[in-house]
Structure 1
């Protein structure tokens, strides 16, 4: 009956979307040159419903993704067992150089990192702040998670 417990705690597609929209930190795993996992935590925004984050174009995760696009993302929370929730996404990390797309995500993530009010993707921001964030993005690329498989759990449902 393990399947029935698993089915009980699985989130619906709408619950997964709301959960990802309500969070901003993601654990990102890429594959290192010797097959070892490279694991980091990043701030993210949702771009067209997909986890997206900015990172330096020379970062280890980008080097790994250019060699092998396999990427796993985990967003989770909860302290006690009956509170644990999470979404694991398995698929490819797409490295995107498009500056407009980069800036869309950069405005959201950069505002959060700076402790400023966080805009929605595509929402206009203060022009002075935009210039500062665009300068900070000059050596960065956008990474978007393109999932093949999504696994979720919400032990509050059990």
Structure 2
């Protein structure tokens, strides 16, 4: 039966949300000037339920997104075949200059990258650490993934 295995390994929307919330590394693909994929790995958090990360405003991915907002994100894990799980999101990467959401995302991701306890979105961070993260964020923008289509798999379901 065509598609039956695919249907068995597909995650529910709740499982997708839980999976994305439990992870923090995402492969991000944007479209380069000659149409080739530009692929990088980023640390992320969820902002309003969507994959979000900060990056230098002059980075290649931002240049690409300003020209063409097409973006694909992949979060995956597992080593053995029956452990493979993942979520691929296809849609648009929004470049957001607003310092308030950039700061909220930056505090979570920056704390994680520094090996510090990770705050909940919007929770206060130690003022000294917050100052250092804010200085690093000054040259950055926020990218939020707006998915049009989500594909998921969890081989542990079969």
TM-score normalised according to structure 1 size: 0.99
**Which residue of 1 is the match for residue 37 of structure 2?**
37
**Which residue of 2 is the match for residue 148 of structure 1?**
148
Q: Which ranges of structure 1 fall in alignment gaps of 5 or more residues?
A: none
**Which residue of 2 is the match for residue 23 of structure 1?**
23
Q: Deviations over 1:58-110 (max 9, x none)?
A: 00000000000000000000001111000000000000000010000000000
Q: Deviations over 1:110-135 (max 9, x none)?
A: 00111111111111111111111000
- SS of aligned partner of 1:2: coil
In the alignment, does 2:97 pair up with 1:94? no
Separation in structure 2 between the aligned mates of residue 103 and residue 129 of structure 1, nearest angstrom: 12
* Deviant stretches of 4+, over 6 Å: none
Separation in structure 2 between the aligned mates of residue 78 and residue 20 of structure 1, nearest angstrom: 14
In the alignment, does 2:21 pair up with 1:11? no
Separation in structure 1 between the aligned mates of residue 27 and residue 117 of structure 2, nearest angstrom: 23
**1:13 CA displacement:** 0.4
**1:2 CA displacement:** 3.3
- SS of aligned partner of 2:149: strand
RMSD: 0.5
Separation in structure 2 between the aligned mates of residue 2 and residue 103 of structure 1, nearest angstrom: 46
Separation in structure 2 between the aligned mates of residue 98 and residue 128 of structure 1, nearest angstrom: 22
